[in-house]
């Protein structure tokens, strides 16, 4: 094929040069009606496929390398999906009620469940659709071929697939995976986290490549700009080989300096913390130089066959806090879109989960779950390095109700003679316009703020980030967004509390410089990005960042703000700016 360019979303940085390897067999969706006499046969075929997929995943779990043991839990969760009634029983019902073949029924069911998860605002929860899609792909392939799915070449190559799960990657020789390209996925998917941990360049949302490319065609993956070059010429190869060498040298330097504090060249220190979702990720944290954990997502424990009990939560949380002493860990309480995604809860029929019963609303409605989690957090709080953060807060009363519950639990735990922190630090995620507008009142009654930039932009700009027609409005430098950020930071500091930013934008070099100029106290991101973020901060001047922020806050011209930021960072970082990923210059206008 002639030289061609495709665009994707950078998920794991780096440059990969190699040959295309399809991770899955190409399977055409079968949409076939059946007779009533064929129903039993099609249902049995689906049951057999589910049993085979569970067995194959069990084998994969047993063979997970010891240094990647945390992904065994992820694969085990996919085994549960393969037997989950929401998936299998729903597909079986479709076969009998709609008189359609197993493959078609499966596709409709998977699409429905994926749509549910993708409608959620939290990127971590949204990317759980990948787990469902991955199981669906395995089931679909077995229905068509009667065989397992991974027969990809053992030669070095760049994996290309509709989607990939950690199980797919684990079944390969990891030393031979040079890069990953998928049509689905996202930055908080399990495969994204795995690829960053393994330092494999990865782009998601790559459209058109699967249909256009052939096996063993040469490829270049630019994990910074999101560019894929198919059939590159000699000039391309020479250019990207040099870029890869330069990047690897830069990355090695940032790793060697990762333990140094993130202090600007004029002496302003900023905490750079990690975002985590399981205790098993602690092994990668020490080398990153992270100043503790700014966001520990607690949802993963709830996406299993049954809900966790208090002792299970205590064990999980204690492993995290003891492993990080004396550094602090901020635990975000359960943030789900509606109890239909908790397998042990009855389903709600919410037309718009993004604006429904999620975050603190869900927890206060289901206080049995909330109290169990709070008790576990208070018990491990005796270590002295635990803080609790409430998501999706919109009213002062939600904070006050939580305070009252903590007081009641303190009395319970005291009467049971269980050691605990009676009044652990309690913070609020500022991620809704309502919270932003009353943040002065919230700051008077909580201990810290954490800004969730993903949701805050979504709600402020009145957009659905999954809707490509309005993707151009997902604009961090919109005056409404930057002025809201400054308002929140100033309100926190007036009351003497710290404010951090835990959204994906914290690792964007342009936004990071802007946040420093606004006076943010801490930022948190994936451990993979932390050494580079700390290195970047050490090259910036806080006073210059303050002037930049002042100019951006005064202006209304987004393009001019971007030019200012780019010019200043180019002066501060030089060619190193190309080694950071940014979404600010990838927005497509309608």
- Print the domain residue range for 225: 4-246
Instruction: Tell me how far apart the alpha carbons of residues 194 and 131 are, in angstroms, rounded to a whole number.
Output: 14
Q: Is 259 a domain residue? A: no
Q: Largest alpha-carbon pair distance within the chain?
A: 78
Both 44 and 80 in one domain: the answer is yes
At 322, which CATH number? 3.20.20.60
Average pLDDT score over the chain: 86
Both 391 and 463 in one domain: the answer is no
Both 89 and 238 in one domain: the answer is yes
Both 419 and 439 in one domain: the answer is no
pLDDT digits (tens, 9 = 90+) for 485-506: 999 999 999 999 999 998 778 9
- DSSP state for residue 33 in the 8-state scheme: B
**Catalytic residue (one of 24, 52, 190, 580):** 190
pLDDT digits (tens, 9 = 90+) for 155-184: 788 999 888 877 777 777 777 889 999 887
pLDDT surpassing 50 at residue 344: no
Both 540 and 442 in one domain: the answer is yes
Q: Which of 57, 100, 59, 105 is nearest to 79 (CA)?
A: 57
pLDDT digits (tens, 9 = 90+) for 229-267: 999 999 999 999 999 999 999 999 999 999 999 999 999
Q: Is 487 a domain residue? A: yes
Q: Is 291 a domain residue? A: yes
Both 389 and 293 in one domain: the answer is yes
Instruction: Tell me how far apart the alpha carbons of residues 348 and 352 are, in angstroms, rounded to a whole number.
Output: 11
Sole residue written with tokens 């100033």: 490
pLDDT surpassing 50 at residue 339: no
Q: Is 256 a domain residue? A: no
pTM over 0.75: yes
Both 58 and 80 in one domain: the answer is yes
Token reading at 162? 């509709």
Both 128 and 204 in one domain: the answer is yes
Q: Is 251 a domain residue? A: no
Q: Identify the domain boundary among 360, 391, 424.
A: 424
Both 401 and 431 in one domain: the answer is no
Beta bridge partners of 12: 202
- DSSP state for residue 506 in the 8-state scheme: G
**Catalytic residue (one of 114, 446, 502, 545):** 502
Q: Which of 400, 457, 402 is nearest to 430 (CA)?
A: 457
pLDDT at 454: 84
Cβ atoms within 10 Å, residue 162: 17
What is the number of structural domains in the chain?
Answer: 3
Both 62 and 187 in one domain: the answer is yes
What element of type H or E holds 402?
helix 396-415
> For the residues 398-421, what does the mean pLDDT come to?
97
pLDDT digits (tens, 9 = 90+) for 502-545: 877 899 999 999 999 999 999 999 888 999 999 999 999 999 99
Token reading at 386? 């635990």
Cβ atoms within 10 Å, residue 17: 20
> For the residues 326-348, what does the mean pLDDT come to?
65
Active site residue 190: yes
pLDDT at 25: 63
Both 448 and 415 in one domain: the answer is no
Both 122 and 190 in one domain: the answer is yes
């Amino acid at each position: 094929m002639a030289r061609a360019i495709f665009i994707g979303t950078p998920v794991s940085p780096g440059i990969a040069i190699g040959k295309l390897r399809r991770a899955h067999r190409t399977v055409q969706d079968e949409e076939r009606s059946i007779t009533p006499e064929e129903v039993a046969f099609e249902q049995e075929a689906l049951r057999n496929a589910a049993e085979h997929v569970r067995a194959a995943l069990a084998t994969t779990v047993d063979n997970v390398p010891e240094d990647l043991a945390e992904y065994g839990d992820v694969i085990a969760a996919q085994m549960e999906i393969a037997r989950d009634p929401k998936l299998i029983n729903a597909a079986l019902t479709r076969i009998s009620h709609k008189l359609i073949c197993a493959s078609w029924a499966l596709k409709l069911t998977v699409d429905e469940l994926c749509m549910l998860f993708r409608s959620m605002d939290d990127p971590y929860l949204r990317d759980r659709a990948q787990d469902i899609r991955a199981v669906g792909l395995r089931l679909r392939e077995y229905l068509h071929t009667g065989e397992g799915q991974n027969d990809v070449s053992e030669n070095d190559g760049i994996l290309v697939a509709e989607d990939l799960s950690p199980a797919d990657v684990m079944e390969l020789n990891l030393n031979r995976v040079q890069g990953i390209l998928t049509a689905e996925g996202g930055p908080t998917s399990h495969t994204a986290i795995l690829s960053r941990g393994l330092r494999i360049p990865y782009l998601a949302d790559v459209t058109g490549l699967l249909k256009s490319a052939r096996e063993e065609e040469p490829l270049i993956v630019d994990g910074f700009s999101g560019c894929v070059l198919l059939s590159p010429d000699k000039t391309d190869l020479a250019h990207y080989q040099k870029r890869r060498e330069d990047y690897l040298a830069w990355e090695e330097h940032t790793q060697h300096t990762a333990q140094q504090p993130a202090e600007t060249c004029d002496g302003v220190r900023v905490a750079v913390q990690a975002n985590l979702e399981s205790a098993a990720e602690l092994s990668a944290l020490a080398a990153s130089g992270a100043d503790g954990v700014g966001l520990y997502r607690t949802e993963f424990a709830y996406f299993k066959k049954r809900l966790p009990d208090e002792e299970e939560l205590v064990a999980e949380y204690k492993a995290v806090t003891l492993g990080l002493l004396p550094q602090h860990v901020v635990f975000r309480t359960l943030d789900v879109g509606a109890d239909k995604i908790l397998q042990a809860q009855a389903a709600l029929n919410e037309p718009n989960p993004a604006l429904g019963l999620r975050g603190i609303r869900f927890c206060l409605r289901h206080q049995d779950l909330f109290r169990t989690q709070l008790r576990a957090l208070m018990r491990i709080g005796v270590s002295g390095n635990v803080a609790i953060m409430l998501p999706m807060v919109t009213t002062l009363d939600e904070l006050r109700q939580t305070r009252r519950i903590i007081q009641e639990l303190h009395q319970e735990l005291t009467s049971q003679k269980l050691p605990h922190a009676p009044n652990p630090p309690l913070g609020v995620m500022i991620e809704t316009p309502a919270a932003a507008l009353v943040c002065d009142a919230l700051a008077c009654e909580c201990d810290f703020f954490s800004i969730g930039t993903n949701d805050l932009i979504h709600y402020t700009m009145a957009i659905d980030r999954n809707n490509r027609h309005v993707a151009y409005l997902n604009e961090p430098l919109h005056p409404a967004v930057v002025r809201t950020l400054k308002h929140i930071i100033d309100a926190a500091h007036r009351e003497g509390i710290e404010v951090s930013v835990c959204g994906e934008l914290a690792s964007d070099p342009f936004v990071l410089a802007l946040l420093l100029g606004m006076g943010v106290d801490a930022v948190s991101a994936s451990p993979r990005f932390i050494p580079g973020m700390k290195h970047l901060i050490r090259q910036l001047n806080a006073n210059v960042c303050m002037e930049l922020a002042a100019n951006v806050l005064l202006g209304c011209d987004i393009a001019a703000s971007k030019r200012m930021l780019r010019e200043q960072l180019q002066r501060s970082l030089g060619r190193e700016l190309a080694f950071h990923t940014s979404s600010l210059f990838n927005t497509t206008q309608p």
